[in-house]
Structure 1
Amino acid sequence: MNVGIGLPISDPATLLTWARRAEDGPFTTLGLLDRLVYDNPEPLIALAVLAGATSRVRVQTEVLLAPLRDTALLAKQTATLDRMSGGRLVLGLGVGGRADDHEAAGVDLHTRGRRLNGQLPLLRRLWAGEPYGADAGPIGPAPARPGGPEILFGGFKPMALERVARWGDGFLAAAPPSWAGGLFDTVREQWRAHGREGAPRLVAQANVALGPQQVVDDARAAMHAYYAFTGMPDRMVSGMLTTPQAVRDTVTAYADLGADEVMFYCYGLDPDQVDRIAEAL
């Protein structure tokens, strides 16, 4: 099974070091979270820099909050990144749930799902080279991957899972193995119900901190701050993997569920974690 690294968001200046170490290791993908009203790097810009510093690993948004963005500009930005990276962009999409993000973007929080549903066919049309509309022509450049970058959807509700079959190529499961199995089954059922050929790509996500206690404490504090808005950050942090054996067991558990890849998200800043995860594997 493929293994990727979810990058820490606390200090953008460190991400080049993380990316180069991952490129030299066994990892397949670099992932980056998205928020607007938060002290994190903008993911498309950051991943463009990292794509230019690497040649092999994929760059993946997990998840990009598409409703916060203008659709035509998003189509152009993602096609550019996909083209310039040689088709290495994987576009993980979601709707988000923070009222402050939507307030800052000038987007109605309560219509975010409908907005995403309207964005998806337009993105696909623009990536295919079709005109924007009657009074505006095509928006280039053409992406490296015909039809646009690979799209994965994150989420838990039925509508989010159904989008995978309607518009996507796969599913991002930010859930432990005990929960992810049911989500995977639902995605597969929707895939068949929509008459899709093949199978959806299934990507799991787990949080990890490997190293001295200071590294673990740093990761827990950063993750706690990130998920404070949920009202249950302690529960989120409690699931963090902090031993090599836990990392190996998690890979095995997701593999048994049929996952194609697991992304290990690191909230601690120490880039030596890349090597420690590689050793654990």
Structure 2
Amino acid sequence: MHIGIGLPISDPPALLDWARRADDGPFSTLGLLDRLVYDNPEPLVTLAALAGATRRIRLQTEVLLAPLRETALLAKQAATLDVLSGGRFTLGVGVGGRADDHRAAGTDLHTRGRRLDEQIGLLRHLWSGEPFGPDCGPVGPAPRHPTGPEILFGGFQPAALDRVGRWGGGLLAAAAPSWAGDLFDIARRSWKDHGRTGEPRIVAQVNVAIGDADLVADARASMGAYYEFSGRAEYMLDRMLTTPADIRSAITQFGDLGADEVMLYCYGRDADQVDRLADIIG
């Protein structure tokens, strides 16, 4: 099973150091979350910079809030990043549940799921080289593969999980092992119900902070601020893993559930966590 690192958002200039360290270590993927009305770096721009600073590690949005973006431009941006990274880019997408993000983007919060489905269809259409429409030509560049970058779908509701099979993507599940298994099963059932062969790629995400008390406090403050809107910040903070034993246990549990990859998401800024996590996973 592969292990990746989710990058902190509170210190953008430090992310080049994080990326280089992870690229030299045992990690499979760098992940970066997305918000609009928040003090975080824009993920596609940031991952493009990290692509140039790394050699082999994959680059992944966790998750990009696609309905906030104009679709043809997103197709061009994602294909460009896919090409410039040598095919190392994974587009993780979700609908976004923060009203202020949609207000700032001028999009409708209540139709975001329908919009995402329309976007995926158009993205695949444009990545295949087809023209945008009868009076408008193709949108390049061509991605490394005709179907475009790998797509992962984030979400918890049945309609969100069904996109895995409907569009032939994978699942990105930010859920504890105790209930992630149900999400995995629904995604796999969607895959079969839509006549897909093989199995969907399953990626789990868990929040971690590994270091001294100050680092853990920094991580808790950053994560708490991020989830403050939800009214569930304490619930999320209670599930942050802060010991090697707990992190190893979660990885083992996700592996037993059949996850292909586990993303260890960090909110604390200290890049030495990369080396500590590398020691933990061996």
- TM-score tier by shorter-chain length is over 0.9
Cα drift, residue 232 of structure 1: 1.2
Partner AA of 1:93 in structure 2 = V
Contact 2:218–2:268, Cα closer than 8 Å, also in 1: yes
Equivalents in 2 of 1:145, 1:48: separation in Å?
18
Match of 1:196 in 2: 196
Question: Could you say which residue in structure 2 is the equivalent of 1:206?
Answer: 206
Please report how far the alpha carbon of residue 204 of structure 1 lies from its aligned counterpart in structure 2 after TM superposition: 0.2
Which structure 2 residues correspond to residues 173-192 of structure 1 after superposition, within 5 A?
Answer: 173-192=173-192
Shift of residue 59, structure 1, vs aligned partner: 0.2
CA distance in 1, matches of 2:78, 2:145: 11
Deviations, residues 109-147 of structure 1 (Å, cap 9, x unaligned):
111111111111110010000000011000000001231
Give the counterpart letter for 2:172 in structure 1: L
Matched AA of 1:127? W
- Unpaired stretches in structure 1, ≥5 consecutive residues: none
**Distance in 1 of aligned mates of 2:217 and 2:127:** 43
Pick closer, same or farther for the CA change 1:168–1:92 going to 2, 3 Å. Answer: farther
- Equivalent residue, structure 2, for 1:232: 232
User: Partner of 1:151: helix, strand, or coil?
Assistant: strand
Per the alignment, in what secondary structure is the counterpart of residue 188 of structure 1? helix
Sequence identity percentage:
69
Counterpart of 1:94? Answer: 94
Q: Secondary structure of the equivalent of 1:242?
A: coil
What's 2:63 paired with?
Answer: 63
For residue 121 of structure 1, what is the aligned residue in structure 2? 121
Runs of 4+ in 1 over 3 A off after TM superposition: none
What is the SS of the residue equivalent to 1:49?
A: helix
Q: Structure 1 residue 262: deviation in Å? A: 0.2
Question: Which AA in structure 1 matches 2:275?
Answer: D
- Provide structure 2 residue ranges, at least 5 long, that are not aligned to the other structure: none
Shift in Å, 1:11: 1.1
The separation in 2 between residues aligned to 1:164 and 1:128, in whole angstroms, is 19
For 1:84, the equivalent position in structure 2 comes to 84
RMSD: 0.5
SS at match of 2:184: helix
Q: Deviations 1:237-265 (Å, cap 9, x if unpaired)?
A: 11000001111101100000000000000
Indicate the SS of the match to 1:59. Answer: strand
Match in the other structure for 2:249: 249
TM-score of the superposition, structure 2-length normalised? Answer: 0.99
Q: Does 1:21 align with 2:28?
A: no
The aligned residue for residue 37 of structure 1 is 37
Q: How does 1:139-178 map to 2 (within 5 A)?
A: 139-178=139-178
Q: Is the 8 A contact 1:152 1:168 kept in 2?
A: no
* Inter-partner Cα distance in structure 2 for 1:30 and 1:171: 16
1:186-207 Cα distance to aligned partner (Å, 9 max, x none): 1111100100011000000000
Q: TM-score when scaled to structure 1?
A: 0.99
2: CA distance between counterparts of 1:55 and 1:49?
A: 12
Q: C-alpha offsets along residues 206-252 of structure 1, whole Å, 9 cap, x if unaligned?
A: 00000010000000010000000110100101100000111110110
Counterpart in 2 of 1:9?
9
Residues of 2 paired with 1:133 and 1:68: CA distance? 22
Aligned to 2:8, the other structure's residue is in SS state coil
- Whole-angstrom distance in 2 between the partners of 1:106 and 1:90: 26
